[in-house]
Structure 1
Amino acid sequence: MNAIIEKIIEPSDKFTFLVGAGISIDNPGNVPSAKKFVENLTKLCVPAEEINLILQKESLRYEVFVEQIQRYIDKSLKFLDFLETRMKPNLIHYFLSHNIISKNHVITTNFDYLIECALMNLLSIGEKKQINPIILRKQYLDINQIKDLAKSAQYLLFKLHGSKKNIITGENTFESLITTISSLGKDRKEGETFTIESYKKGIISKVIKDRVLIILGYSGSDDFDITPFLKEIILYKKIIWIDHILKTELEDIEIKHFNSDLNLSKHEKFLYNIQKKHNIKTYLIKANTKTFISEILWAKILQSIPITNIKVDDDTEYPDFGEWINNLNEYKNIDIITRYKFAGYIYYSLSDWKNAKRVWQKGLEIAKSKNNLRGEAEFLTNVASLPSNEMTSSKSLEMLEAAKKLYTMLDDYEGESSCLNNIGAIYSNKADIKNAINFYLQSLNLNERHDDLEGSTVPLLNLGAAQGKVGNKHKALEYYQKVIDVVNKTGDLQYKAQALMNIGVVYKESGENEKALNFLEEALQIDILLGTIPQQTVRLNHIGLIHQNLGDYDKAFESFNRGLDLATEIDDYESEASLLHKIGNLHDLLNNKGEAIEIWEKALKICEEYDMIRDKVSILNSMGFSAYNLGDYSDALALFNRALEVAQINGVKDFIIETYDSIAVVSHALQDYESAYKIYLKILDLLKDGDNVEKKAKYLRSMGISYYSYTGDDETAIGILKDAQELFERLGDSQTIGEIEKDIEFIHSSD
């Protein structure tokens, strides 16, 4: 073992330590894990009957949980004051403090004060004044002005995720905390979702450059900033990652090397890729952290400095967090309505719509019985706006209008804005884009009147989607970019992910697949880190389509199947049907007709079971085009007519138009030009009151060609084509304008 360590750690090496929460769990530090914090807070903040179910949720992130705590219960995050009861450093804290004194560097993502306490215990009264925890923006900028940190008299500790206070100076530094999902995404520049803030980069790069980076007590789960930053700077000499194990014997220590990235954990893949791409040596050492430091690292790095003798007190001297938290006013007698709101949002954050709805409906009943108008309004809004909502659109609108009236009565513009957005979304789903835009603009104007930057995110996002639906791609991109600009200031990453995906979809539809893929991959990474599985299935759906467009069919299948597995895991039947549809389409493209039909039938079965009319129409259309491409026109026509019947039940114009178009294409192939022409007349009649110039132009062109084939009337046909050409000129589509010129030339030459 020592011989191997000799090769890993050389006498000339300088060190920087990156340390996470795991270093503070050992006695006498005895800081509870994030999981323990969540367990105790859950017991206080949710209805008793929901405790066990919520705690069983493996995907519940500490940051997501704290987001809701701060929103509803503890705005100042006073529960973190518990860390002031944990001021007795353990051996690891003393080891790190000796390294700071020896001019090695320590970076921590922890909120506790144990490294500072160890430094105070080791230094004289005069030297203690030189302890400088780097917490605030100004400190990062000031310290970066020092050219040679080794010559500085200060003892520096870089607290990368901030701290509630600077215990050396007593200064309140609450603004620095990065402990919620929003704060993890806040103050990021464009393209910096997964890295530390720009003002921290200069000095952190400096303290890592040309040094051995040793990672302790850290699982690598903070991928919002740490690991991406380490991938970005590539200035360190080598990385040694101590992966903690419970066994304390030296013979249990294992040094791992990686020859491929198969079956590796997230941080193992990180080490493998750094080594492979940048030729930087990386080591993963599985060891009990305390044992590895006391038996190997202390002597190797600190050499003659004696190991600090730690007095481990009896655990009973420490207040228990579960008992301590009961003394905070914020957590005493939390009212039942707040508990139901909180529990619902926890389920919602985990994409558990069914339990979110159940809890919020119960909360609604309680709010009504207590005449709590604010609670009633919020529960009404939440229930009516849930994804995968089984309610009719008219019922949802009724609930949202009722909530809006209550919010107006309460002079609550935020609640009113939320209702306006959700009403707009219902109209958008009904393809009534004009009404949808009207409600979105009302919501945006309401937030702008109150200078609410964060509140403008959702209406901006919705306006982008609405503009995209009517073909205004440039306007859509403008709105999406505004969303990203806002989120980079406010930090709500779920909306950034949505905006990135929507931008990707716009580029995909414009044929810029590589560009689209970059945006969608970034959106997917945010979703993975937020743990939002339904959103992951949507991103994977689009990513699969892009790989398909690029001809990379294996990657397309991989993306579709990844999404399908996730959708099946959470019973997301809508995504399941959609992904099965895409997999069937890909098999059809590859001429695997039997597999395609089998998979489409599975998707249709789901659609029929859950009355998913839109998806059913799309799948029947795919099956129809498959038959059409094989020359089975009668089968194709039967499938398209079946799709039309379903679309007309729903009454959504877009689906009726899409299916009419399919029937017209087959009719044209069957040389039934009269039927094709009459169908295009119906399509244009449906479009006459809408604003989608692109669709009007497309179908005018098709109608002109069908009319000529039907009647031989070249003058009228050319007039129709010129009308279409004029619309394409308004759109700036020179390619299609040229194609129509060829259509007209063909008609002239046929006379």
Structure 2
Amino acid sequence: MHEVNLQLKKLLKGDQKYIFIAGAGCSINSPSNLPSSNEIMEEIINFTCAKSEIESISKLERLRFETLLEIIRNQLDNDLKIIEYFEQCKKPNIIHFFLAEMINKGHAVITTNFDFLIEHALIQSNNGKEHIHSVITEKDYREFKNIFEYLNTGKKFLYKIHGSMKDILTDRNTKEYFLSFIKKIGSYKSEFDLFFVEPYKGVLLSKLLNNSILILIGYSGQSDYDIIPILKKYHKLKRILWVNHITNDQGNSNILEIVKKSEKPPKDMDNLDKILFQIKNQNPNVEIFRINTNSIKFIKNFTDFEYALNTNDFSIEFRDWLHQNVEIPNMMMKYLIPHVLYFNFDRFDDSFRCGIRALEYLNENDDKNHKLLILNNIAWFYFRMGNYSEAILNFEEALKISQELGYKDREIIYLSNLGEIDERIKNFPKALQRYKEAMKIVEETGNLTEELRIINSIIEIYEEMQIYSEALSFSDKAIKISEKLGDLKKKAIISNNIASIHHKLENLNLSLEYFQQSEKIFRRLNDIRNLAICLNNIGTIYQNFGDFSIALEKFEEALEYDEKLNNKEGKAWHLSKVGEVYLNQKNYIESLKYFIDAIEISQELKDFRCEMKFHNLLGKSYYYLRDYTNAMNSFNSGIKIAEMFNDLLTKADFLNNIAGCYFMQLNNEKSLKTAEESLLILKLIGLGKSIKAITLEKKIMNLKNQIKL
């Protein structure tokens, strides 16, 4: 970035096609005197939040105006009367009249503002409004998508990209679209969740931007979710001029050109510089200038026209208007709104605290929907903390209210949540009861997707309880529902699960049949992630059959997909499976490299349990190669990991393997000592009478006899 010695008129001269983007800063100057968006947000927070929470809420990073509006709309101001404040101001300033003049000259003006001051400037200019259209709703954007066909007939347009409660040029009510738009963008937790412009807007805007000079005025770029992404992606602009307003420039005006550089932007850049740098990096051929000047001074480079401004300033204070026109929130509401705000920004401790306070202020006259919201969130907090008993109490109370209000969809959610908690605490009969109650309600609603989700939860529980007949019965229902939905992927996943159940029951032929059904569907869908899992299962069955050539083929194909997906976890597993096949085939040297590679990846991933398994396999390969030193090194590495997890059974197995190595080295004393240590562990964990322990006792007796000889 560097300062350039250019006159503004040189950047603006000629018969150029201009597009203006007007932000909230355009409406601050006299006589409009509207507060800035930050000031309005501050007043809304002061009005709706408990005093104890105001400072903390005000400091929430990336809290968008639209997010705040949506929460207020949901809890307090359903019709968003707050926005009607902007209607009260009918006194456009010089910037609004200038933008109106630009529209009348055929240039495009896009605004993110909720006020009507550009429209009032158009009306007060006496140029006639019959040829001017406000583009507000989705229907408008679709109707005027071939925008130049209309521009060529003399029509003029104002584009209100963030919507509007009404179209005052035609007395058209656009409130329904506006509320739905606010609901959509306000429901996202953070700015990073919603960087986009709707496709129907994009079609029209991309045509306007093509080969044009874009001028941003009164626009900060903060908390933006559509304009900035457009500028980053759209590379057919000729030039971008971003006017950074200076209230009293007093000769401090300057023009900075943004130049693409390979290095990262300096750390001392302000937010606007960072935005411009990012736009330039993605659009190196677009000229980008930051113009630090007074906005009024800037527009005088376009026109010498003197506008007839209202001599009296707009004087309605937003704070006063709020108290006179919006329901004053009670203390319950003043904690409920911070509760929701904190929740949306993952400030869970603060949200929990405010939720508890809101419940304390609840009374019989308060809307039960508010109590339902708080109970749901508090139950979720308890669930997250692992306090399942409190989570159950709150979800059960929420369930009771849902039943009183006849909210079937909420009943399903709370029953499912309760079922999940019961499943976690291993109360399987109660979990099944909850899920089956939820399923009855779902069957009444005919929501097949939700029914399938609940059935899958039931299947998981029956599998956990090892009641495989019931798991298979519900799996058949799940298959039929997936077929009704036409959801091939879900059908393949369910078939894969059925195959796994049959594999546990040692119905290997039936298991293979279902796995192969899944394989066909995943190939058809080109779902290589799930296909790799399925191939692993098929390979394992062929391995059980002793058909190692087909098993190897399946594992190697799965490994190829892991490479394509950069799925390191899958790659480590399938490397070990290939190694296992070579181990089965007594090709011990070939197996070594696969186990070693698998161990390296599992170490990189810190997947210690898999690493432990792979050390066991590697140790066996060395053992069969009679390399007992390396075999014991691998087994000892496995023991260290087993001790990390206090996995005594696996440690006993490794010790038994090491005893075998010592025996092969004719070191009977160490073999005996290690075998006895292994047996002691088995006895400590209650497996002293297991077949494994009995076999080990016989080995110990033989060793003792040989030592005596």
TM-score of the two chains, using structure 1 as the length reference: 0.60
* Alpha carbons 1:274, 1:280 under 8 Å: kept: no
1:384 to 372, 375, 379: 379
Distance in 1 (alpha carbons) for counterparts of 2:375 and 2:445: 24
Matched, 1:52 2:49: no
1:289-304 map, 5 Å = 289-296=294-301, 298=302, 302=303
1:637 to 639, 642, 647: 639
Residues 215, 122 of structure 1: alpha-carbon distance in 2 compared, 3 angstrom cutoff = same
User: Aligned-pair distance for 1:255?
Assistant: 1.0
* Alpha carbons 1:45, 1:331 under 8 Å: kept: no
Distance in 2 (alpha carbons) for counterparts of 1:442 and 1:48: 43
Question: Which region of structure 1 is more displaced relative to structure 2, 28-37 or 287-296?
Answer: 287-296
Distance in 1 (alpha carbons) for counterparts of 2:131 and 2:681: 82
2:35 to 32, 36, 39: 32
SS of equivalent to 1:177: helix
Distance in 2 (alpha carbons) for counterparts of 1:381 and 1:238: 51
SS of equivalent to 2:220: coil
Distance in 2 (alpha carbons) for counterparts of 1:293 and 1:239: 15
Q: Deviations over 1:101-154 (max 9, x none)?
A: 111111112111111111112233xx2222211112232222234544442322
What letter matches 2:105 in structure 1?
A: S
What letter matches 2:115 in structure 1?
A: D
What letter matches 2:84 in structure 1?
A: D
Structure 2 partner of 1:349: 344
Matched, 1:244 2:245: yes
Matched, 1:75 2:78: yes
Structure 1 partner of 2:327: 331
Distance in 1 (alpha carbons) for counterparts of 2:30 and 2:182: 30
Residues 149, 167 of structure 1: alpha-carbon distance in 2 compared, 3 angstrom cutoff = same
SS of equivalent to 1:32: coil
1:493-642 map, 5 Å = 549=568, 589=603, 631=633, 633-634=635-636, 636-637=638-639, 640-641=642-643
Structure 2 partner of 1:581: none
Structure 2 partner of 1:280: 285
1:377-456 map, 5 Å = 377-386=372-381, 389-390=384-385, 392-427=387-422, 429-430=424-425, 446=441
Distance in 1 (alpha carbons) for counterparts of 2:426 and 2:161: 47
What letter matches 1:637 in structure 2?
A: I
* Alpha carbons 2:94, 2:307 under 8 Å: kept: yes
Q: Deviations over 1:187-225 (max 9, x none)?
A: 9xxxx9643222223222222211111222223345432
Residues 398, 294 of structure 1: alpha-carbon distance in 2 compared, 3 angstrom cutoff = closer
Structure 2 partner of 1:17: 20
SS of equivalent to 1:236: coil
Matched, 1:318 2:320: no
Residues 341, 549 of structure 1: alpha-carbon distance in 2 compared, 3 angstrom cutoff = same
Distance in 1 (alpha carbons) for counterparts of 2:16 and 2:367: 65
Residues 121, 369 of structure 1: alpha-carbon distance in 2 compared, 3 angstrom cutoff = closer
SS of equivalent to 2:287: strand
What letter matches 1:78 in structure 2?
A: K
Structure 1 partner of 2:628: none
User: Aligned-pair distance for 1:357?
Assistant: 1.4
Distance in 2 (alpha carbons) for counterparts of 1:49 and 1:550: 48
* Alpha carbons 1:92, 1:293 under 8 Å: kept: no
Please, what is the CA RMSD of the aligned residues? 5.2
User: Aligned-pair distance for 1:43?
Assistant: 2.7
SS of equivalent to 1:200: helix
SS of equivalent to 1:199: helix
Question: Which region of structure 1 is more displaced relative to structure 2, 232-241 or 668-677?
Answer: 668-677
Residues 468, 360 of structure 1: alpha-carbon distance in 2 compared, 3 angstrom cutoff = same
Matched, 1:86 2:89: yes
Residues 208, 374 of structure 1: alpha-carbon distance in 2 compared, 3 angstrom cutoff = closer
Distance in 2 (alpha carbons) for counterparts of 1:446 and 1:247: 66
Q: Deviations over 1:587-641 (max 9, x none)?
A: 99469xxxx9xxxxxxxxxxxxxxxxxxxxx88x599789999947557536534
Distance in 1 (alpha carbons) for counterparts of 2:181 and 2:6: 44
Distance in 1 (alpha carbons) for counterparts of 2:185 and 2:243: 25
SS of equivalent to 1:228: helix
SS of equivalent to 2:336: helix
* Alpha carbons 1:413, 1:446 under 8 Å: kept: yes
Structure 2 partner of 1:99: 102
SS of equivalent to 2:77: coil
Distance in 1 (alpha carbons) for counterparts of 2:569 and 2:8: 48
User: Aligned-pair distance for 1:80?
Assistant: 0.3
Structure 1 partner of 2:356: 361
User: Aligned-pair distance for 1:69?
Assistant: 0.7
Residues 675, 69 of structure 1: alpha-carbon distance in 2 compared, 3 angstrom cutoff = farther
Structure 1 partner of 2:307: 308
Matched, 1:122 2:128: no
User: Aligned-pair distance for 1:232?
Assistant: 3.8
SS of equivalent to 1:3: coil
SS of equivalent to 2:19: strand
User: Aligned-pair distance for 1:155?
Assistant: 2.3
Residues 409, 21 of structure 1: alpha-carbon distance in 2 compared, 3 angstrom cutoff = same
Distance in 2 (alpha carbons) for counterparts of 1:460 and 1:220: 44
Question: Which region of structure 1 is more displaced relative to structure 2, 210-219 or 7-16?
Answer: 7-16
Distance in 2 (alpha carbons) for counterparts of 1:400 and 1:176: 34
SS of equivalent to 1:243: strand
Residues 368, 30 of structure 1: alpha-carbon distance in 2 compared, 3 angstrom cutoff = closer
Distance in 2 (alpha carbons) for counterparts of 1:46 and 1:480: 49
TM-score of the two chains, using structure 2 as the length reference: 0.63
* Alpha carbons 1:248, 1:291 under 8 Å: kept: no
What letter matches 2:347 in structure 1?
A: D
Distance in 1 (alpha carbons) for counterparts of 2:338 and 2:289: 39
Residues 391, 445 of structure 1: alpha-carbon distance in 2 compared, 3 angstrom cutoff = same
Distance in 2 (alpha carbons) for counterparts of 1:345 and 1:335: 16
Q: Deviations over 1:434-485 (max 9, x none)?
A: 98798578658757856999xx99x99999999999999998x999999xxx
* Alpha carbons 2:602, 2:611 under 8 Å: kept: no
User: Aligned-pair distance for 1:550?
Assistant: 10
* Alpha carbons 1:337, 1:375 under 8 Å: kept: no
SS of equivalent to 1:385: helix
Distance in 1 (alpha carbons) for counterparts of 2:72 and 2:369: 19
Distance in 2 (alpha carbons) for counterparts of 1:252 and 1:175: 43
Task: Report the number of matched residues.
Answer: 541
* Alpha carbons 2:91, 2:310 under 8 Å: kept: no
User: Aligned-pair distance for 1:36?
Assistant: 2.2
Distance in 2 (alpha carbons) for counterparts of 1:451 and 1:229: 41
* Alpha carbons 1:428, 1:466 under 8 Å: kept: no
Structure 2 partner of 1:526: none
Q: Deviations over 1:712-734 (max 9, x none)?
A: xxxxxxxxxxxxxxxxxxxxxxx
What letter matches 1:408 in structure 2?
A: Q
